[in-house]
């Protein structure tokens, strides 16, 4: 790391690791419930496990984005963070709000809207927290002498993510409008501004890891995020087919969803091309694996698998089935989870001064978790297709069909175990790096710029 204040990123990353582990635990609870082993039903019913699982995902990814921003922004701005103290306060309050929310879920305290289950009073605290975070980042950039595209795209992404949280806090007594504006948060985050954040982080990592000229990388960053917004904004329409909105959404959503894979394809081609043009080899190969892996897996999971069921004629059958869960898993993994793990893999040696990237465990973490996740996606895909045919096309009863697909969930649990082994390797490596050290300040291990 270049600057003392970047150390704060470590604590965000450590929180990430903790929340990710917890997310996996809740995933297993749900997986077992699906094969009929729901011994925890009285304490953690499925809806609690589900809300906890998805909210932990959102929270750990956002924590990762914040950590990434605290790491990247000082380096891009070429100065210390505006306030380290504020960053620690912000992390602490963030964790407190998260813990209260998750405990609340176990006592039937929530807002009960998919992905936005956090109770309303806590929403306000989240807003205050995120504003604090943005203030800190904005002041750092404001007082910097250097402006870079990467820095600005990342900031713009974080700002929009914060602004777009607000429509989710309006109460509608009409289910259709409620759902309509809920997607402003959920879709426009995941398929809009989060991709902006992703582009910013990817650009930073590519600049560091490939040594390709910043100007070239940043030019294409604009093109890639431009494609994202071009397809992603009106692509929201694919959530509006069947919730009571006008019929033109079928056409708008269909066409722009069909363009969404292009944005991800652009992202993948961009990353691979920059890698091919690399000046020389960066020693931190593992960070490169996660970086390029994220660009490619996001194309498969978010781009291709998303496209596979957003066309209206297909979606009318797959909507609200396990096909969505199938796409969701690989999309989040490829686009965002792998990206956060990429930042962590790149930052940890720099923060601590320890070169653990030469060992085997990093590769084991990468391959085991990726093959595991692909296995989970495959199992969900088969279960989902079976469900669509039996329940939707043939009209069989929901519960009867669920019994037919138990076998695929056993497969999913096995793949999830492999995935967990990979993540365990990653976490063990994370712990072995130890704490950030003052001796590591002022130099980056093996950077080319």
Partner 1 sequence: MLSKSQARAFFLGGTFLFSAIFVFLTVDTVRQNDTRTNAQNLTEDVLKGKEIWEKNNCMGCHTLLGEGAYYAPDLTKVVERRGATWIDVFLDDPQAMFPGERKMVKYNFTKEEKGQVIAFLDWVGKINANGWPPKPNIPIDSIATPQVPQVKSNAVVLSQPEKFSQICIACHAVGGKGGNVGPALDHVGSKFDSDYLNRWLSDPQAIKPGTNMPKLPLTDPERKEIVTYLSALK
Q: Which residues make up the interface to partner 1 (CB under 8 A)?
A: 30, 33-34, 36, 38, 41, 45-48, 50-51, 105, 108, 110-114, 117, 149, 173-177, 179-180, 215, 218-220, 222-223, 225-226, 229-230, 233-234, 236, 240-250, 252, 316-317, 319-322, 324-325, 389, 392-395, 397-399, 402
Smallest gap from Cβ 96 to partner 1, in A, equals: 22
Q: Which residue number, 193 or 351, has a Cβ lying nearer to partner 1? A: 193
Question: Residue holding tokens 């019913």?
Answer: 45
Task: Compare residues 76 and 111 and give the one whose CB is closer to partner 1.
Answer: 111
Q: Which is nearer to partner 1, 108 or 281 (CB)?
A: 108
Q: How far is the CB of 249 from partner 1 (least distance, A)?
A: 8
Rounded Cα gap, residues 404 and 413, in angstroms: 16
User: Which of 135, 125, 240, 235 has its CA nearest to residue 182?
Assistant: 240
Shortest CB 202 distance to partner 1, Å: 15
| Gap between the Cα atoms of 250 and 59, Å rounded | 32
Least distance CB 344 / partner 1 (angstroms):
28
DSSP state of 174: S
- Closer Cβ to partner 1, 179 or 370, answer by number: 179
Nearer to partner 1, 92 or 103 (CB): 103
How far is the C-alpha of 382 from the C-alpha of 405, rounded, in Å? 9
- Between CA 135 and CA 393 the distance in angstroms is 52
Distance (Å, whole) CA 146 – CA 325: 43
Cα 216 from chain centroid (whole Å): 26
Torsions phi, psi for 294 (to 5 deg)? -65, -45
Minimum distance of partner 1 from residue 187's CB (angstroms): 11
Q: 107 or 142, CB closer to partner 1?
A: 107
Nearest-angstrom CA–CA distance, 227 and 217: 15
- Measured CA to CA, the distance from residue 386 to residue 439 in angstroms comes to 57
CB of 223 to partner 1, least distance (A): 5
Question: Shortest approach of partner 1 to residue 361 CB, angstroms?
Answer: 35
Please, which residue, 71 or 184, has the CB nearer to partner 1?
184
C-beta of 372: minimal distance to partner 1 in Å? 21
Which CB, 54 or 369, lies closer to partner 1?
54
The CA distance from 323 to 305, in Å, is 9
What is the 3-state secondary structure of 299-340? HHHHHHHHHCCCCHHHHHHHCCCHHHHHHHHHHHHHHHHHHH
Residue 192 and residue 228 in contact, taking contact as beta carbons nearer than 8 Å: yes
């Amino acid at each position: 790391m270049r600057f003392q204040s970047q150390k704060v990123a470590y604590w965000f990353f450590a929180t990430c690791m903790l929340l990710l582990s917890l997310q996996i635990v809740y995933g297993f609870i749900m997986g077992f419930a699906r094969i009929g082993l729901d011994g925890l039903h009285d304490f953690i019913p499925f809806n609690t496990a589900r809300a906890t699982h998805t909210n932990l995902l959102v929270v750990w990814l956002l924590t990762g984005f914040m950590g990434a921003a605290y790491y990247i922004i000082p380096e891009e701005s070429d100065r210390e963070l505006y306030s380290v103290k504020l960053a620690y306060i912000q992390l602490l309050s963030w964790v407190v709000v998260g813990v209260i929310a998750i405990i609340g879920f176990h006592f039937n305290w929530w807002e009960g809207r998919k992905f936005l289950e956090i109770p309303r009073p806590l929403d306000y605290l989240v807003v205050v927290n995120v504003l604090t975070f943005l203030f800190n980042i904005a002041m750092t950039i404001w007082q910097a002498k250097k402006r870079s595209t990467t820095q600005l795209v990342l900031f713009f992404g974080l700002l929009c993510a914060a602004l777009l949280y607000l429509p989710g806090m309006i109460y509608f007594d009409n289910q259709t409008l409620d759902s309509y504006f809920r997607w402003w948060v959920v879709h426009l985050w995941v398929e809009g501004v989060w991709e902006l954040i992703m582009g910013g982080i990817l650009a930073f990592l590519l600049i560091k890891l490939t040594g390709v000229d910043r100007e070239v990388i940043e030019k294409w960053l604009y093109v890639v995020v431009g494609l994202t917004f071009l397809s992603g904004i009106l692509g929201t329409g694919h959530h509006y087919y069947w919730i009571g909105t006008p019929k033109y959404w079928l056409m708008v959503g269909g066409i722009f969803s069909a363009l969404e894979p292009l944005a991800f394809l652009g992202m993948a081609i961009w990353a691979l091309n920059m890698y091919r043009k690399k000046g020389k080899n960066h020693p931190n190969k593992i960070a490169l694996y996660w970086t390029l892996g994220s660009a490619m897996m996001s194309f498969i999971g978010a781009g291709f698998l998303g496209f596979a069921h957003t066309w209206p004629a297909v979606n009318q059958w797959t909507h609200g089935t396990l096909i969505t869960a199938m796409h969701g898993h690989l999309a989040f993994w490829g686009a965002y989870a792998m990206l956060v793990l990429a930042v962590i893999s790149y930052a940890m040696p720099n923060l601590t001064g320890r070169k653990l990237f030469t060992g085997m465990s990093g590769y084991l973490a990468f391959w085991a978790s990726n093959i595991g996740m692909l296995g989970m996606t495959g199992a969900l895909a088969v279960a989902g297709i079976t469900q669509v045919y039996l329940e939707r096309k043939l009209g069989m009863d929901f519960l009867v069909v669920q019994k037919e697909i138990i076998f695929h969930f056993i497969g999913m649990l096995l793949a999830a175990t492999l995935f967990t082994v990979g993540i365990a390797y990653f976490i063990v490596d994370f712990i072995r790096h130890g704490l950030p050290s003052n001796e590591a300040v002022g130099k980056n291990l093996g950077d080319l710029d």
